[in-house]
Chain A
Amino acid sequence: MTTKVRLCTLWTLGSLLLLALFMGRYEIGVQAIFQSFARLPEVLYCLASRSPLPEDLTPEQQVFLLLRLPRIVLALLIGAGLALSGAVYQGVFRNPLVSPDILGVTSGCVFGAALGLLWPQGGWLWVQACALLFGLAAAFASMTIAARLGQGSLLLLIMTGIIVGSMFSAGLMILKTLADPYGELPAIVFWLMGSLSAASWSNVAQVLPLALFGYALFHLYRYRLNVLCLGDRPSQSLGLDPVKLRYGLIAMASCVVAACVASVGQIAWIGLVIPHMVRTFTGSDHLSLIPLSTLFGGAFLLLSDSFARSAFAVEVPVGIVTSLIGAPLFAYLLFRRQSQGGHHA
């Protein structure tokens, strides 16, 4: 990674973060934001220890500390997590068109969430637990079937992913037909679109450990990912165990995706496109691809969410915004690359 790329990344991220802090329906001044930050440790401590919040918080501070800030942090985390696992998936599958739902993780999560929503007396936490559980179950099922069938070939893994994914999609259809069309069905549909509007510090606490652990692992293994891209036989001759490494990386990436989807719903594009975009800038070397995808994924979701919550009178589901911004941006990058006569990564 050159210093230029590093500076560029930091500058983009910093300005985006600053922008996001000030954006919102409720206007909060610079001074109020500084004062709010001063109260942050106290508020976080109260939340963690489940004791009542301090009573002298101003409404501005409450909006900022309990609504806006957790939402910003969650957007960064989810975007980073999805883009990171997308980059890992693409590297492991040696295919730039792979997205994190290839093993049916997303379908599993969505099915789980719908099941949670239909369950009588299920709370929000219950929905998320279901989503996480079924997402992991889907990934586990795909990998187990593939491992049983053959020596962990890539093609087999993709096919079992399709099998498991379509089973869960069918399950979701069944749940939708069973759902009450006035209450439950719209809830499922909105959850499918993905939204950060219910973001809270507890959401952050759910995603953060998995995302951090995942990132640490991928960061350590990122050079091995390069070698794994060469294919099984070459990477084996270079001293790796491609099958074991692949299963390990996919399992971890699936955990991260499941955690992300379970907490905010399905958010399209990020896992597929962000790693791809980063690759068009810096090449395929995972040494820089892994950290940059993570940063840009976070930045991109933050940008999309800020736009979603403040651009129109009504909040737009963020999944729509990511597609609306992401698709043309991606097309532009492809065009630019083509006109430079560059080789498509």
Chain B
Amino acid sequence: MRAPGANMGILGGFRPSFWSVVTVLVVLVLFTLLILPIFSVFVVSFFDGKTGEFTLNNYVQVFTRNYYLKGLQNTLFVGSLGTLGACLIGVPLAFFTTRFRIRGQAVISTLAILVLVAPPFIGAYAWIMMLGSNGFITNFFANVGISIPTIYGAHGIILVFTLKFFPFVFLMTQTALKSINKSFEDAAENLGCNALQRFFKITLPLVFPAVSTGAIICFVLSIADFGTPAILGRGVRTLSTIAYSAYTSELGGTPTMAVTISLVMMAISMLALLAQRRILSKRRYASAMTNRPVVYQLTGLRNMLAHGYCYAVVSIAMLPTAVVIYTSFLETNGPVFTGKYGFSSYARVISDAPEAIVNSFTFALSAVCLIAIFSGLISYLIVRRDTAVSGMIDLLMMVPYLVPGVVMAIGFVTTFRTGLFDLAGTSIIIIMVYFIRRLPYGVRSTTNSMRQVKPSIEEAAINLGASPLRAFMTVTVPLILPGLIVGSLMSFITAINELSSTLILYTSGTVTMPVKIYISVLDGEFGLAAALSTILLVCTGLCVYTVFLLADDRESSFV
């Protein structure tokens, strides 16, 4: 007797079924583009950069030398406080918008999502234009004789992280608050809790899983963020900026220290995630939804304060974006703004950096095409094939979220720069990095759609004579198309805004918009940076709009 499953698709001789071939293909791709680069980075960190001998010295250095220790400390400091800030403004916003009647709910959610998808470094340098040493707010106060602290330093990074990442906490907490069973709160009230006690003793603990998930995303993204500390850090170096400068100084040699630091960053993210999972595993509040929460109409001062808070938060968070768009229409003379309005910054984009636009679109679109194809196939494997391998693939889809761009990029360089072939400096390597880093967005959205499709629909197609591939193309794909498109758009948004890994992989021929913006900011070319950023924002905005049109549950498509 043969083992069950072993004889699947065998027709006379060996003929593997379509989905077995797909499984092998997916495993090969994930092995080559995900496991291998991370593993090679891991290996490099245990060898001496010069002598090539096995050593633990690299790690010893990170945890003993002051320069690295300070970086580690800074990273944890700005990451934790940024996350805390995001929670402190995100949770009340979620509470107000779900429990009180706030006018323009949709506007608030939309603005929060726009904040989420706008490239992070845009925020950083927009704050420089406002609160930098020559920022217009700084100058305004200087003119009236008040000297205010500049944005540079740890507090600036924390401010940007807070305003940039709070939408994660906000959107996830909002979803949780909407689905909480009101009976719990009623019971608390019945047992004698006042409104404030009820919030802290019942409501907040019940939405804690969602808040902590949002917080962990903030933390992981803060740890990995490169653009913000690079632009605003000045003296404050974080692990990601240290890793990047280590990489540039080790260029040509083995990027040992860059790799070791990057892995420490990754370990911090993973530890944070594990800790959160551990805490959550003890707190599961499954509840059959019976009693929807009531939305109260506030009156008078309270009503004004609640509205004021909600709009203030999203307005301040949108401020950098507005400043960037405004700046892009200012005339410049070299790095100096002349005070007149015009399109010269856009003219400079066309003359100085047309290839950045072309490259960005080519890379992101190529990656997204691959992502769309693989998302369809992988989500089928995850949802329909109940095997150990598809379970493993599902688990592997978490990994790219946790691996900082710097790690991935260095991993790709060490893996794909061999004697046989050298992909370093090519467009292909950038497309591959975008593909693997953004694949989970596509897979997640497509998997959600796939779960809605009844297996019997595909079986009906096969029963009527369609081959597995044909059944997939003619029946499954049309049915998962909305999820596939939403996922692809999310991948596109995040791919076209990618900075940290591109910065390591780009050459003069493969400059992208985010890289060009970053370089321009460092060169003080704010006009050019603003114009490019605006173009990027418009593309992103159009994608968000399309997602809004297609997705059933708009907000949750973004977190």
Q: Do A and B come from one complex?
A: no
